[in-house]
Amino acid sequence: MSDKSVSYWSNAEEGLRAVELRAAGFEPSEAMKTNAVVTIANPYTNAHRCNNRVRRIADLLVEEVSSAGGQGLLVGAPAVSDAMTQGTENAGYSLVSRDLMADCIETGHYAHHGTAMIVVSGCDKTGAAALMPLARTNAFGLVVYPGTSSPGRVDFEPWASKGNNLTILDYVEGAAAREAGRITQDELTSLQRCVMPGSGTCGAMFTANTMSTIAEAIGMMLPRGASHPADYDAASDIHDDVKRQVQASVEALYRLMEMGLRPRDIMVKEAFENAVATAYAMGGSTNLYLHVLAIAREAGVPLTIEDLQRIGERVPLIANLQPHGTYAMVSLHEVGGVPVVMKALLEAGFLHGDVMTVTGKTLAENLADAPLPEDLPDQDVVFPVARPLAAPGNHISVLSGSLAPESCVLKLSGKTLEEGEFRGTAKVFDSEQGAMDAIRDGRVVAGDVVVVRNVGPVGAPGMPEMVHLTIQLQGRGLGKEVALITDGRYSGVSHGILVGHICPEAAKGGPIGVVRDGDTIVINPITRRLDLDIPQDEMTNRMAQLGTPKISDIPENSVLGKYRRLVSSAHYGCVL
pLDDT at 1: 35
pLDDT at 211: 96
pLDDT at residue 235 tops 70? yes
pLDDT at residue 8 tops 70? no
Write the single-letter amino acid at 27: E
The mean pLDDT value for 351-363 works out to 98
Q: d(Cα 342, Cα 213) in Å, to the nearest integer?
A: 10
What are 418-470's pLDDT values in tens digits? 668 899 999 999 999 999 999 999 999 999 999 999 999 999 999 999 999 99
Q: Is residue 130 part of a domain?
A: yes
Q: Is residue 337 part of a domain?
A: yes
Q: Is residue 13 part of a domain?
A: no
Helix pair angle (124-137, 93-111), 10° resolution: 40
Question: CB–CB of 372/309 below 8 Å?
Answer: no
pLDDT at residue 15 tops 80? no
Q: Is residue 473 part of a domain?
A: yes
pLDDT at residue 493 tops 50? yes
Q: How confident is the model at residue 83 (pLDDT cuts 50, 70, 90)?
A: confident
What are 94-112's pLDDT values in tens digits? 999 999 999 999 999 999 9
Least confident window among 3-7, 77-81, 144-148, 170-174: 3-7
pLDDT at 3: 47
Q: Is residue 122 part of a domain?
A: yes
185 and 134 in a common domain? no
Question: CB–CB of 509/546 below 8 Å?
Answer: yes
What are 300-335's pLDDT values in tens digits? 999 999 999 999 999 999 999 998 899 999 999 999
pLDDT at residue 195 tops 80? yes
Q: d(Cα 325, Cα 224) in Å, to the nearest integer?
A: 21
What CATH number has the domain bearing residue 249?
3.40.50.2300
What are 144-188's pLDDT values in tens digits? 999 999 999 999 888 999 899 999 889 888 888 898 898 999 999
Alpha-carbon radius of gyration of the chain: 24
352 and 287 in a common domain? yes
pLDDT at 4: 47
Dihedral (C-alpha) 218, 224, 225, 229: value to the nearest 10 degrees? 140
Cite the DSSP H helix spans in 40-157. Answer: 54-67, 82-85, 93-111, 124-137
pLDDT at 16: 63
437 and 299 in a common domain? no
pLDDT at 143: 98
Q: Is residue 507 part of a domain?
A: yes
224 and 91 in a common domain? yes
pLDDT at 438: 97
CA 74 to chain centre: 24
SS3 sequence of 307-341? HHHHHHCCCCECECECCCCCECHHHHHHCCCHHHH
Q: Is residue 28 part of a domain?
A: no
243 and 127 in a common domain? yes
pLDDT at residue 6 tops 70? no
Helix pair angle (207-217, 269-281), 10° resolution: 140
Number of CB atoms found within 10 A of residue 522's CB: 18
233 and 369 in a common domain? yes
Taking the alpha carbons at both ends of the chain, their separation in whole angstroms is 32
Number of CB atoms found within 10 A of residue 174's CB: 25
Q: d(Cα 334, Cα 239) in Å, to the nearest integer?
A: 13
Structural domain of 537: 396-572
Q: How confident is the model at residue 287 (pLDDT cuts 50, 70, 90)?
A: very high
Question: CB–CB of 400/406 below 8 Å?
Answer: yes
The mean pLDDT value for 539-553 works out to 90
CA atoms within 13 A on the CB side of 373: 24
182 and 94 in a common domain? no
421 and 364 in a common domain? no
pLDDT at 12: 66
What share of the chain in percent tops pLDDT 90? 80
Q: Is residue 15 part of a domain?
A: no
90 and 130 in a common domain? yes
The mean pLDDT value for 491-519 works out to 94
Cite the DSSP H helix spans in 226-375. Answer: 240-259, 263-266, 269-281, 287-299, 305-312, 329-334, 338-347, 363-366
Q: Is 409 helix (H, G, I), strand (E, B) or coil?
A: strand
pLDDT at 9: 54
The pTM for the full model equals 0.94
The count of domains in the chain is 3
560 and 422 in a common domain? yes
366 and 418 in a common domain? no
Write the single-letter amino acid at 83: A
User: Which residues have a catalytic role annotated?
Assistant: 491
405 and 352 in a common domain? no
- Mean pLDDT estimate for the chain: 93
Q: How confident is the model at residue 2 (pLDDT cuts 50, 70, 90)?
A: very low
What CATH number has the domain bearing residue 503?
3.50.30.80
Nearest Cα to Cα of residue 210 among 133, 105, 322, 120: 322
